[in-house]
Every structure is written in structure tokens, then in C-alpha cells.
Amino acid sequence: MITESQFAKVVLIDDDPINNFVTKKLLLKFQPMLNIVEFLDAREALTYLEKESADLIFLDIHMPSLDGWGFLDELKKRNNEIPVLMLSSSIDPNDHQKSISHSSVKGFLIKPLMN
């Protein structure tokens, strides 16, 4: 028997539930068997990742409490090298440049994702 846990696990971290919804729907359109876990708070995602694994993280930059950069720093402190795709509406070239300085960041995508 195949269980949901056998499929890739993707973590979405964005303080805007609409962006998480759009990203989730688009990902499931192309990969319907993905296991997607959503967080509106980066600190809650860190707590989750202390106990659970993930194959990929979609991460917003500008969030209250803990922003994307702080999240990446915390992930690195914990020696957690899950691949991360930055998903941001930022057009600031400094954000693009800063993202490539993190070894776990594999790309920078502009939101909302579109098909």
C-alpha cells in the first residue's frame, strides 16, 4: 500500500494565506501526489522542521516575527540543508543578491506563481 508520506514533502512558508493557497494549488496541479505543509509563521515552521523532514521549502522574505533571512539563518544554525526556493514579491535587487549568498537557496521566484 502506498501512503502519502512516500511522496515528496514541500513546506510553504508565507504570512499571506492567499499566497500559500495559490502556490499549493499550482504545485498540486503539476504534482498531485505532493505532501504539502503550510505555515503562516516562520517560527512555527522551524519548530515543525525540528521533528519532521522536508524535501523542499518555498519561503517568503518579508514576514512579521521572523523574516525569510532570519529563517535561513536559523536553519543553517541547525545544520539543516533542505533546499529552499525564495518566493517573494520583492523587486529589490539586493534581495535577489542576498538570496544567492545562502547555500540552501536554489532559486528566487516572483510571486504569485503562475502557470
Flag whether 36 is in a domain: yes
Task: Return the HEC string of the chain.
Answer: CCCHHHCCEEEEECCCHHHHHHHHHHHHHHCCCCEEEEECCHHHHHHHHHHCCCCEEEECCCCCCCCHHHHHHHHHHCCCCCCEEEEECCCCHHHHHHHCCCCCEEEEEECCCCC
pTM, entire model: 0.90
Band of residue 6 on the pLDDT scale cut at 50, 70, 90:
low
Flag whether 21 is in a domain: no
Flag whether 26 is in a domain: no
**pLDDT at residue 109 greater than cutoff 50:** yes
Flag whether 47 is in a domain: yes
Domain that holds residue 106: 32-61+68-115
Flag whether 12 is in a domain: no
Least confident interval from 5-9, 12-16, 56-60, 86-90: 5-9
- Tell me the average pLDDT across 35-64: 96
CATH number at residue 56: 3.40.50.2300
Q: How many structural domains are present in the chain?
A: 1
